[in-house]
Amino acid sequence: MQNQSKEVLEFSKQIKEKMKEIDTFDFDGNTEGKIRATEEVDKLKEQRAEEQAKLLLEAFNKDRVLLVNSLQTATQSTAPAAPDARTQEMINEKLKKAEELGESGMIDEAQKLLDEAEALKKLGARPQPVPDSAKMSTHVQITDQKLRLCDICGAFLSVYDRLLGPVLRGLLLQLKN
């Protein structure tokens, strides 16, 4: 993975060398040297973590700027979507009524209907809700289970659960009585 900076790689290299020193001190029985080397390793790990945090923050900020820019260009370039069939039908009805009212001399009412039709055109197609995959998987899991109704207590029991079914039936029945 080459997305780490030279500084982070250098810290990792120094940590590895200090760990070898710690092993040598441990093997030699030099407790004081081992403690000092362990403290140095801890400091190096903190420095490496700080550098990695900086890199992560920079990458996050770059991604955020790109995302904001792409969203701005997407919202600027997209015109209102064409209305769906039901909305288009409502627009046509309002235009027809406005024309009839205009011919009969009711200009104010006709203008009101034209304004409503324009508002419906600007509204465009209603966005369809995007199904959440987590909810869908839960729904699929629930519907994939085969359940049967307990003859005694009316509880739903799994067809596949041969061991727990009678136990649950007995417990449920004991609790009901």
Average predicted confidence (pLDDT) for the chain: 76
Q: ∠ CA(8), CA(11), CA(13), 5° rounding?
A: 110
User: For the segment 50-98, what is each residue's pLDDT rounded down to a tens digit?
Assistant: 888 888 888 888 888 888 787 777 666 555 566 677 888 888 888 888 8
- What is the distance of C-alpha 65 from the center of its chain? 19
| Residue 84 · residue 40 · CB < 8 Å | no
| 109 plus 157 within the same structural domain | no
Instruction: Specify whether 15 is located in the same domain as 71.
Output: yes
Q: Please indicate, yes or no, if residue 54 is contained in any of the structural domains.
A: yes
The pLDDT > 90 percentage for the chain reads: 21
Q: Give the range among 2-11, 113-122, 126-135, 150-159 with minimum mean pLDDT.
A: 126-135
Total domains in the fold of the chain: 3
What domain range includes position 119?
A: 85-123
> Do residue 23 and residue 62 come from a single domain?
yes
> Does the pLDDT of residue 140 top 60, yes or no?
no
Same domain, yes or no: 71 and 92? no
pTM, two decimal places: 0.40
